[in-house]
Structure formats: C-alpha cells, structure tokens
Amino acid sequence: MATNRIDLHRQAEEMVTLGADLLEWRADAYDKVTEAGEMLSLLGELRQAIGSIPLIFTCRIDLEGGLRQMTQELRLALITAAIISRKIDLVDIELCNEHEFVDVVRQSANANNCRLILSHHNFQETPGEAFIVGKLQEAQAAGADIAKLAVMPKNPADVLTLLSATNTARNGTVAIPLVTMSMGEAGRISRMAGGLFGSDITFACGSQASAPGQMHIDDLRRGMALLF
C-alpha cells in the first residue's frame, strides 16, 4: 500500500521479515503508478527485494475500493505491462470490468505464466448466499484461475452467510481455488476461519491494511493456530 518508493521498499522488507507466503502490491496506492516506466522500474526493484515470494499485482478500480481514478485504457495498459514484464505471479482484476477488458488481461496472463484472480467487492453489505455463490461461479466461467469475493457484514448473521456460501461453492460447482472474506471488525473471524469453509487464501497486513478488518500477520497466525 506504499505511496512512494522509499515506503514500498520498507514495507516489502517488513513483509519478507515477517515471512509472508505471498505478497500483494496495491499499485493504485502508489503516487506515480500512472507513469508506466516508473511503475515497471519499481516492480523490478520489488521483485528483487522479495526474491521468489509469489507476487500479486493489483491496480484496483475506483468503483471497488481503488485509491485513484484513471481511465480503463490506462488501467489496462498498466496491468498488461506488469504481466508482460514477468515480474509478477498473479494479477487481480474485478469482475465488474468490461468483458473485453477481462479477455485481454486473461489472454495476456495465459501467455506470460501469470495466474488470474477475478474478484468482486461489496463495501456496503453482504448479499444473499445465492448471489455470493453466483459471483464465484461467474469468475470461474470468465476464465479465472482463482475466484475472490469480499463483502461487508452488518451483523454476525452476515458473516455466517459468507462462510456458508463459501462452503456451498467449495463443495458444489466451483472447482477453482476460492478466496472469500467478510470485512470489517465483525468479519475478522472469516479471515481466521475461512480455510475451514473452503477459502484457500487469507489476507493479513504489516504496517498498513488494504481493507477494513485486516489483521496483522502475527495476530492472524496466532488465531489460525488455534483453529487448524
């Protein structure tokens, strides 16, 4: 989530020291992300700093929590440039993008040994179980290697809805890996226990969270150790 080069190196070093299994660069947080040359140069430095740790590249659309507005043409150019650089292992884009946008990213990812995460975020509420399962199915049908969904709970029952939907998808028609989470303070249990219901990845943070309710990696590991 760094906004500048110095902070990015600091955060990368912190996460390597903390022993993260994989890292996500939220490039939309970086001040000069719209300058392709600057972004690619920094991506090379980041790859060198983290070594062989798998790297997710995300330039989040503003409609789903992205930190800056930019044209779809610019976003697509930045995302495909990151893929073609072969400095990343996974790329995360949103299902709400136009079909043509998704197709271009998927084809570029397939050609450059990069795995595609198709994601959906709702920061206002938790839809019903059928909707959640449907979105995960939609990601699979659109060619995702990994389907991701994050929703905001208004009460504990919403968290149960998310976990139940994850279990339904995992044991039903969704055959690809899943990443699901309930955000905010109420949803923290989903970050610790999601793996029991079928979620394959959980997100933690170091010094700066990228979503409401993210826990520090050390706290998350302690919580998971009690469950697994």
Could you identify the residue written with the tokens 């080069």? 5
The two structure tokens encoding residue 9: 């190196």
Whether residue 206 contacts residue 221, with contact meaning beta carbons closer than 8 Å, is answered with: no
Element (DSSP H or E) covering residue 182:
strand 178-182
> In the chain, which residue ranges form alpha helices assigned H by DSSP?
5-18, 36-50, 72-84, 99-111, 129-141, 156-170, 188-197, 217-227
19: closest CA among 228, 149, 226, 204? 204
Q: How many angstroms separate the CA atoms of 3 and 204, rounded?
A: 19
> Is-catalytic flag, 121?
yes
Could you identify the residue written with the tokens 């028609």? 173
> Is-catalytic flag, 216?
no
Catalytic residue among 87, 120, 135, 148: 148
Mark residue 151 as left, alpha or beta (left: phi above 0; alpha: psi -120 to 50; beta: remaining): beta
Q: Terminal CA-to-CA distance of the chain, rounded, Å?
A: 29
Whether residue 135 contacts residue 166, with contact meaning beta carbons closer than 8 Å, is answered with: no
Catalytic residue among 120, 121, 154, 216: 121
Could you identify the residue written with the tokens 């998350």? 220
Q: Annotated catalytic sites, by residue?
A: 121, 148
